[in-house]
Structure 1
Amino acid sequence: MTSDQTGRGAAGDHEPPRGASTTDTWNGLAYTASAQWLVLREEDTPTAEVFSISYLAQDPPAERPVTFVFNGGPGAASAYLHLGAVGPQRIDLPADGSVPAFPPVLVHNDESWLAFTDLVLVDPVGTGFSRYVEDGAAHADAGADRGQQKSGAHPGGSGDGRGQYFGTVRDLKAMGDFISRWLSENGRWGSAVFIAGESYGGYRVGRLTRHLQETVGVGLNGVILISPALEWNQLEAFMGRGDYAVEPWIDALPSMAAAAVHHGRSRAFKPGTPPAEVLRAAEEFATGEYASFLTRGASMPATDRERVINRYADLTGLDARLVARAEGRVGVNRFKRELLKDTRTVLDVYDATVTSPDPFPDRDAYEGAEPSLTAVKAVFTAAVNRLLRTEIGVVTDRRYEVLNDDLVAVWKNDEAQYYFQGCPGATDDFRHGMAVNQHTRAFITHGWYDLVTPYHTSERLRNLMRLDPATARRLTVRHFPGGHMFYTWQESRRAFTDALAVFVAEATSR
């Protein structure tokens, strides 16, 4: 692997930090890995430095598709998808996706998407090495890490950058500007374009399906939504709220039932029952008797209510008395603590097959960490820093923000016109974008054991989109064993990559 630093500074009065590039091969394919900052501007004034890592085949690049990849949060850098699934190198994880020993090791990734597309891993403003530019940063000293001293690393700086980027629509505009600029600077307007995002990144991609095509003028061959949070009301069950809601509780139940079987606590199914059988039965109950229970409330006869509560308890492995006290609405955060309570063990809500000791079992609220979020953050932080600073050769004093919690705290719904207006979902924009371009294909996917963005939400939404038959044929919905980051499971990563190779081929055929 060879490496060199490049100073692709923006023209005019502001230059970002120097980037770096290196060359290598992946399964015989020669490629260039480039880590660069691209300056975004408002009326010629620099407002942000967006960092990305691209993997571009050296010959012939213009004939290959290019996929822009985002993670979620908001506040997450692209490191999770980058080093967990799509890049030419990945973190060496156990086959079941559990946290590896430290320090993490980078290995060749046979399942890299580089097999069928060039890649651009994008870190939105405030994540990774991307920063907004504060007032006066346009004249930062060019001799040091340019922009470092006066570019905001975290929300709360004195400049205007935070207000321009930390919101629903502002984020879409920034990512649309980035994609358009990147295509221009790299001469790739003739390439097939795909966008892929996980979690909030899935929400971002859903809305970009419309924004890029209708506003920016970037046609899309395909969109890939990974564990997407398409509609915000789905989080009611996660938070344990929603006495008057219906859908969030329906959506959470099948994944809870699958978790109960996995841990041998289900009274409805024996351990080892195929997950597909469990999910099918739980879906039928959730959308049938349980949905009626949720909508009828106290008007349902007592004998019917008791039957539903007992069935719910059997499927989820919970005590029927607890389910009755909760009026059949057991929040995800309660479920994760109750299922294995006798062992002082809690489930991870991002992957309910993962467990950890409860450090404070005597306290009312769970005060421990989520292993697949907290522990894995350190794994990905160490790995991405090694890749960027040692192997690609980026030189900067900036901290790589894998997950910026401060950003989440200040994120705004910048479309609200009334005090009671909630954050808009992404499903309408997704449907709109699929209608704008009748060649765009979509792939929506989840992990079975994800309790934060349950797979059944997307299944339900698909059935409510009123898609005409031709559009429905352009939409693929497929789920895999695992949790929120199901691609960390070896077999799921392989199956997911195989499915996407077919998807990209179909989306680029004429």
Structure 2
Amino acid sequence: MAETSPSFTVTMNDGKSAKPEQPVPEPASKQLTWTSGKQTIKYTATAEMLPLHTDDGTLIGHMFALSYVSDAADKSDRPVTFCWNGGPGGSSAMVNIGGLGPRRVPINTIKQLPCPTKPEDNPYSLLPTTDLVYLDAMGTGYSKVAEGYDPKKVWGVDGDADAFMRGIAQWLTTHERWNTPLYLYGESYGTMRNSVLMRVLGERGIALTGVIEQSTILDYAPTLAGNDLYYMGMLPVYAATANYFGKAGAGVDQFAWFDRAWKFVDEKYGRALIASDSITPEEERELAGEMSELIGLPAELIQKKHLRIELDTFRKTIMADEGLFTGRYDTRFTEPAYMDVQGDNEFFAGEDPSGDAIMTPDQSAWMKLVQETGFKGSPINLLLSMKVNEEWNWTHQAPGTMGSPVCPNTAYDMGTALRRNPFCRVLFFGGIHDAATPFWNVKHSISKMFLPESITSRIEYKVHENGHMAYEDLPTLEKMAPELAAFYEKRHEA
């Protein structure tokens, strides 16, 4: 039986909620000019609150959108790209002011920027190629859930995708852009959102031309305690990091060392982890020696851990001789190890030097950028809402499955969407220093679906020398810009 979804109606006026709504800020626009070299583009920046309604007209809330639209008269073939970060609980600020918007904070790559920063025209912006729309997830940034509407309905894998579908439809209606090439650009959890949205949008009659996945996670199973896919994905990142700091692979290119570790995972490491206590102490000792050569940690420690090295163990050990620990978002960043880094893979005593270096400069620059449009929003606008993050509903109804597993795998949503839409393409970007979303796990999530060549020919992979926030690395951004432009041009191919 074919999968179906109920039709929906986009309304231009707010519905009624059970309690009085707080005043909704009025839309605000400003005409601006982007310049890079001899190229100039006049565009309009618009900040607005998009009303979201259920199919029966109930007000869900208002989703904040900041769009950059070229003032060119002919928009018949000009794409619109909807962009967001992840979290879950993250607003869209960082992939905007820190990423591929028309203005950005200066890039300092592996060093922290002082505040305040002055936004500048971004020579690597996507604006020459596409109009850009940045949407904040409900409950993040300026987006607000309506009084009387249960936020748990939109704080979850499926409810979040449904809300973004409605936000996209509302923007297309408000700005009269339904008949235009449509793209999605997501980072981190935003890539999981993209995967579900690809299917959901198609089921609602909204066809996508392309999807860009940056620092991707499709399957959350590797994040579960004791899952060997976690260790397999991390090992190439450990190797690249050890090589960067001169702890392994002296004289060998970082990418070559990363590839060597990847091959070790595929040919030996994965099999050893699956064998677990079936391997002999001698076999374990030999493998620990090979791992030590690759990732720069003592073989004795690796064998003691039975070949399973947690991220925090690596981070606090690889640079311990210099009194430093490394980042998670970008393992090239370091901070003094003033206290033990302990516990789990995300939140720990020592925090993350790469996050410390990026988030505060981006926050202040973002607020300035929004203010310049004339938008009158709340003075409190956090890049990441931990309330949303902690209350997230991880259950997901994947296509063709019964029930809703609490550990989502959205790769099958993507596979289903690509099967239904033979004109949609996907571009994956990954970084060899990204310990938040290791690229090995991305390739594994796609490869284990055994997709036919008619689909895999529309999937591209690009790996660069960066961490999680690829756009914060200037050499990477210089490579990404032409790769993105080429990806958009492929919409003209048969």
Same fold (TM > 0.5): yes
In the other structure, the counterpart of 1:24 is 32
Q: 1:119 aligns with which of 121, 132, 156?
A: 132
Where do residues 410-429 of structure 1 align in structure 2 (5 Å cutoff)? 410-415=391-396, 421-429=405-413
Gaps (5+ residues) in structure 2? Answer: 1-10
In the other structure, the counterpart of 1:276 is 255
3-state SS of 1:400 partner: coil
Distance 1:231 1:333 in 2: 21
CA gap 1:379/1:10 in 2 versus in 1, 3 angstroms: farther
CA gap 1:12/1:354 in 2 versus in 1, 3 angstroms: closer
Distance 2:240 2:300 in 1: 21
CA gap 1:398/1:131 in 2 versus in 1, 3 angstroms: farther
Answer yes or no: is 1:370 the counterpart of 2:373: no
Deviation at 1:99, TM superposition (A): 2.1
Q: 1:24 is aligned with what amino acid?
A: L
Q: 2:44 is aligned with what amino acid?
A: T
**8 A contact 1:125–1:131 mirrored in 2:** yes
**8 A contact 1:84–1:90 mirrored in 2:** yes
3-state SS of 1:175 partner: helix
Deviation at 1:508, TM superposition (A): 4.1
Where do residues 375-454 of structure 1 align in structure 2 (5 Å cutoff)? 375-389=357-371, 391-415=372-396, 421-454=405-438
Q: 1:271-305 deviations in whole A, cap 9, x for unaligned?
A: x4212210121111111111121111222233222
**8 A contact 2:429–2:463 mirrored in 1:** yes
Q: 1:450-499 deviations in whole A, cap 9, x for unaligned?
A: 11111111122232221211211110011111100122111101211110
Q: 1:9-44 deviations in whole A, cap 9, x for unaligned?
A: 835657731121000122321111000001112322
Q: 1:90-139 deviations in whole A, cap 9, x for unaligned?
A: 10121x2532111122111000000100000010111111111113xxxx
Distance 2:172 2:52 in 1: 14
Answer yes or no: is 1:506 the counterpart of 2:490: yes
In the other structure, the counterpart of 1:10 is 13
3-state SS of 2:133 partner: strand
CA gap 1:420/1:471 in 2 versus in 1, 3 angstroms: closer
TM-score of the two chains, using structure 1 as the length reference: 0.87
Deviation at 1:423, TM superposition (A): 2.1
Where do residues 106-505 of structure 1 align in structure 2 (5 Å cutoff)? 106-135=119-148, 160-214=149-203, 216-236=204-224, 241-242=225-226, 245-266=227-248, 269-270=249-250, 272-361=251-340, 367-389=349-371, 391-415=372-396, 421-505=405-489
Answer yes or no: is 1:51 the counterpart of 2:64: yes
Q: 1:295-339 deviations in whole A, cap 9, x for unaligned?
A: 112222332221101111221111111111111001112111111
Answer yes or no: is 1:39 the counterpart of 2:44: no
Distance 1:222 1:498 in 2: 16
Answer yes or no: is 1:92 the counterpart of 2:100: no
Deviation at 1:89, TM superposition (A): 0.4
CA gap 1:311/1:67 in 2 versus in 1, 3 angstroms: same
**8 A contact 1:74–1:408 mirrored in 2:** yes
Distance 1:225 1:397 in 2: 30
**8 A contact 1:251–1:457 mirrored in 2:** yes
Distance 1:420 1:202 in 2: 20
Q: 2:50 is aligned with what amino acid?
A: L
**8 A contact 2:284–2:306 mirrored in 1:** no
In the other structure, the counterpart of 1:153 is none
Deviation at 1:85, TM superposition (A): 2.0
Moved over 6 A (4+): 362-365, 416-420
Distance 1:423 1:325 in 2: 30
Distance 1:364 1:182 in 2: 43
Deviation at 1:411, TM superposition (A): 0.5
Count of aligned positions = 467
**8 A contact 1:37–1:130 mirrored in 2:** yes
CA gap 1:397/1:350 in 2 versus in 1, 3 angstroms: closer
3-state SS of 1:38 partner: strand
**8 A contact 1:90–1:108 mirrored in 2:** yes
Q: 2:240 is aligned with what amino acid?
A: A
CA gap 1:367/1:293 in 2 versus in 1, 3 angstroms: same
**8 A contact 2:432–2:464 mirrored in 1:** yes
Deviation at 1:185, TM superposition (A): 1.3
| More off after superposition, 469-478 vs 193-202 | 469-478
3-state SS of 1:197 partner: strand
Q: Percent identity?
A: 27
Deviation at 1:265, TM superposition (A): 1.1
3-state SS of 1:255 partner: helix
Gaps (5+ residues) in structure 1? Answer: 1-7, 136-159
Q: 1:39-73 deviations in whole A, cap 9, x for unaligned?
A: 11232232211001000011123431000001000
**8 A contact 1:129–1:400 mirrored in 2:** yes
Distance 2:443 2:86 in 1: 20
In the other structure, the counterpart of 1:70 is 84
Q: 2:25 is aligned with what amino acid?
A: P
Distance 2:80 2:178 in 1: 10
In the other structure, the counterpart of 1:145 is none
User: Aligned-residue CA RMSD in angstroms?
Assistant: 2.1
Q: 2:75 aligns with which of 61, 66, 72?
A: 61
